[in-house]
A = this chain, B = another copy of it.
Amino acid sequence: MFSIGDFARLGRVSIRMLRHYDALGLLRPAHVDERSGYRSYQAAQLPRLNRIVALKDLGFTLHQVQTILDEDLAVSQLQGMLRLRRAELEAGVAADLERLARVEARLSLIESEGLMPINEVLVKQVPRVRVAELRAVASGYEPEAIGPVIGPLFGQLCQRLDAEGLTPAGPQIAYYEPVPNGVMVHASSPVTADPPVVSNGSDDDLALVDLPAIEAATIVYRGSMDKADAVVQELARWIEANGYRGTGHAREVYLACPPDHDLWVTEFQEPVVKDA
């Protein structure tokens, strides 16, 4: 019979751990003195303590350890738990390696540029969103070509939504599409309408569209859209440097559009997939 201190030394665990396992019913002392509460352990209890420690080392929770030791599992059940643990460990390693890659990317970025990037690129899941939109063609992707088209388009959109009795359900979104003569500009606003509410005739009429859910690399930009080029390029560089690939033109989400264009806040959402 060993005192708790001696038994803890034998098993290379703390006294507190033995008390904890006692409280959980995971490893009860062979004997407890009624008057003093002193715990005594037998040498023959060491194998069980060792099993507890070994299973814990594999990353099982104490609850799982208890199940494994006390519930007299069939071999196939034990296999199942081990396979589950293996899958968890593999996932954990993969996640840590991804983090590691991002930390490395930051370190090399700091070394090449000597500073912390001011804007954060973040990969997010963007859910599907139902929008009402108007379309028009612009001659190119430059701000000078887009600006004069998209401004009035959003103006009309507001009027049309009003006329249809629709209320915007979130910040306005612009996106683009190449067409033979230039660029198709989409000016859209989230709505909660059910599908068949809106007329949908010619190309310049109001249309109800579901923008699909995407995984997107995003960056938030403060300032006039005229000067957003640098940020969009930063986003593109980040996508390349972090092992993603762009799969389309970015959506622009207008989070704040006060009169002073320098105070605009826009989020660029570039759809991406992980590189193989």
Our pick among B42, B78, B110 for the contact of A82 (Cβ within 8 Å) is: B110
Give the distance to chain B from A49, nearest Cβ to Cβ, in Å: 9
**Residues in chain B near residue A47, CB distance under 8 A:** 119-120, 220, 222
Q: How far apart are A52's CB and chain B's nearest CB, in angstroms?
A: 9
A209 within 8 A of B: no
Q: What are the residues of chain B within 8 A of A24 when measuring CB–CB?
A: none
Given contacts A57-B99, A75-B114, A103-B82, is CB(A50)–CB(B89) below 8 Å?
no
Contact across chains for B100 and A10 when beta carbons are under 8 A apart: no
Any B CB within 8 A of the CB of A177: no
Q: A75-B114, A255-B43 are in contact. Are A103 and B86 (CB under 8 A)?
A: yes
A interface vs B, CB < 8 Å? 6, 9-10, 12, 42-44, 46-47, 50-51, 53-54, 57-59, 75, 78-79, 82-83, 85-86, 89-90, 92-93, 96-97, 99-100, 102-104, 106-107, 110, 114-116, 119-122, 124-125, 170-171, 218, 220, 222, 255-256, 263, 265, 267
**Selected A-B contacts with CB under 8 Å, 23 pairs:** A6-B170, A10-B255, A12-B124, A44-B256, A44-B265, A46-B267, A47-B120, A50-B120, A50-B122, A50-B218, A50-B220, A53-B122, A54-B121, A54-B122, A58-B102, A59-B99, A75-B115, A78-B110, A79-B110, A82-B106, A83-B107, A89-B96, A89-B103
